Amino acid sequence: MDDQDLYSGLIRLHILHHAAEGPIFGLGMIEELARHGYRMSPGTLYPILHGLEARGYLRSRRKSTDAGRVRRVYLITAAGRRGLAAARFKVRELFGELFEHAGRGE
Protein backbone atom coordinates (compact mmCIF):
# COMPACT_ATOMS: atom_id res chain seq x y z
CA MET A 1 0.00 0.00 0.00
CA ASP A 2 1.26 3.48 -0.86
CA ASP A 3 1.01 5.83 2.11
CA GLN A 4 1.80 8.95 0.06
CA ASP A 5 -1.77 10.24 0.37
CA LEU A 6 -1.27 10.42 4.15
CA TYR A 7 1.53 12.95 3.63
CA SER A 8 -0.22 15.41 1.32
CA GLY A 9 -1.05 17.85 4.12
CA LEU A 10 2.50 17.64 5.46
CA ILE A 11 3.84 18.45 2.00
CA ARG A 12 1.61 21.53 1.78
CA LEU A 13 2.79 22.68 5.21
CA HIS A 14 6.40 22.07 4.22
CA ILE A 15 5.88 24.25 1.15
CA LEU A 16 4.30 27.03 3.20
CA HIS A 17 7.09 26.81 5.77
CA HIS A 18 9.73 27.38 3.10
CA ALA A 19 7.71 30.09 1.40
CA ALA A 20 7.55 31.88 4.75
CA GLU A 21 11.37 31.91 4.75
CA GLY A 22 11.59 33.40 1.25
CA PRO A 23 10.57 32.94 -2.39
CA ILE A 24 10.41 29.33 -3.58
CA PHE A 25 10.27 27.72 -7.01
CA GLY A 26 9.15 24.31 -8.22
CA LEU A 27 12.44 22.52 -8.85
CA GLY A 28 13.90 23.88 -5.62
CA MET A 29 10.93 22.50 -3.67
CA ILE A 30 11.16 19.13 -5.45
CA GLU A 31 14.80 18.92 -4.32
CA GLU A 32 13.98 20.10 -0.78
CA LEU A 33 11.14 17.62 -0.40
CA ALA A 34 13.37 14.83 -1.74
CA ARG A 35 15.83 15.53 1.10
CA HIS A 36 12.97 14.61 3.44
CA GLY A 37 12.03 11.44 1.58
CA TYR A 38 9.16 12.81 -0.52
CA ARG A 39 9.57 11.78 -4.15
CA MET A 40 7.67 14.27 -6.25
CA SER A 41 7.50 14.90 -9.95
CA PRO A 42 6.71 18.31 -11.43
CA GLY A 43 3.34 16.86 -12.45
CA THR A 44 2.56 16.28 -8.78
CA LEU A 45 4.13 19.38 -7.25
CA TYR A 46 2.86 22.08 -9.59
CA PRO A 47 -0.83 21.29 -9.04
CA ILE A 48 -0.16 21.57 -5.29
CA LEU A 49 1.50 24.97 -5.78
CA HIS A 50 -1.36 26.11 -8.03
CA GLY A 51 -3.90 24.91 -5.47
CA LEU A 52 -2.18 26.82 -2.67
CA GLU A 53 -2.18 29.88 -4.91
CA ALA A 54 -5.87 29.44 -5.79
CA ARG A 55 -6.70 29.25 -2.07
CA GLY A 56 -4.80 32.48 -1.46
CA TYR A 57 -1.93 30.98 0.57
CA LEU A 58 0.69 31.73 -2.10
CA ARG A 59 1.07 34.22 -4.91
CA SER A 60 3.38 33.83 -7.85
CA ARG A 61 5.34 36.08 -10.13
CA ARG A 62 7.77 35.65 -12.95
CA LYS A 63 11.41 36.32 -12.21
CA SER A 64 14.41 36.35 -14.53
CA THR A 65 17.33 34.18 -13.49
CA ASP A 66 21.01 35.03 -13.88
CA ALA A 67 21.07 32.66 -16.87
CA GLY A 68 18.41 34.76 -18.60
CA ARG A 69 15.61 32.24 -18.09
CA VAL A 70 12.27 33.19 -16.62
CA ARG A 71 11.20 31.25 -13.53
CA ARG A 72 7.91 31.38 -11.64
CA VAL A 73 8.53 32.02 -7.96
CA TYR A 74 6.00 31.64 -5.19
CA LEU A 75 5.68 33.90 -2.16
CA ILE A 76 3.59 33.36 0.95
CA THR A 77 0.63 35.69 1.50
CA ALA A 78 -0.78 37.03 4.76
CA ALA A 79 -3.45 34.30 4.57
CA GLY A 80 -0.70 31.73 4.08
CA ARG A 81 1.13 32.98 7.17
CA ARG A 82 -2.09 32.79 9.22
CA GLY A 83 -2.82 29.30 7.90
CA LEU A 84 0.72 28.15 8.66
CA ALA A 85 0.53 29.53 12.20
CA ALA A 86 -2.78 27.74 12.83
CA ALA A 87 -1.41 24.52 11.34
CA ARG A 88 1.69 24.66 13.55
CA PHE A 89 -0.56 24.63 16.61
CA LYS A 90 -2.58 21.67 15.30
CA VAL A 91 0.52 19.75 14.19
CA ARG A 92 2.18 20.26 17.59
CA GLU A 93 -0.95 18.94 19.30
CA LEU A 94 -1.22 15.93 16.96
CA PHE A 95 2.47 15.06 17.23
CA GLY A 96 2.17 15.21 21.00
CA GLU A 97 -0.60 12.63 20.86
CA LEU A 98 1.18 10.47 18.29
CA PHE A 99 4.38 10.27 20.27
CA GLU A 100 2.66 9.98 23.64
CA HIS A 101 0.93 6.82 22.42
CA ALA A 102 4.04 5.52 20.64
CA GLY A 103 5.61 4.80 24.02
CA ARG A 104 2.69 2.51 24.91
CA GLY A 105 3.48 -0.21 22.40
CA GLU A 106 1.65 1.15 19.35
How many residues comprise the chain? 106
> Which of helix, strand or coil describes residue 104?
coil
> Which of helix, strand or coil describes residue 2?
coil
Q: Supply the pTM of this predicted model.
A: 0.84
Kindly tell me if the per-residue pLDDT of 95 is higher than 70: yes
Q: Which tens digits make up the pLDDT trace of 27-80? A: 999 999 999 989 999 999 999 999 999 999 999 999 887 788 888 999 999 999
Q: Using alpha carbons, select from 57, 58, 51, 2 the residue that is nearest to residue 25.
A: 58
**Taking residues 14-38, what's their average pLDDT?**
95
With cut-offs at 50, 70 and 90, classify the pLDDT of residue 105. Answer: low
With cut-offs at 50, 70 and 90, classify the pLDDT of residue 5. Answer: confident
Q: Which residues contact 50 (CB under 8 A, 6 or more apart)?
A: none
- Topology given in CATH for the domain delimited by 4-102: Arc Repressor Mutant, subunit A (1.10.10)
CB distance 29 to 18 below 8 Å? yes
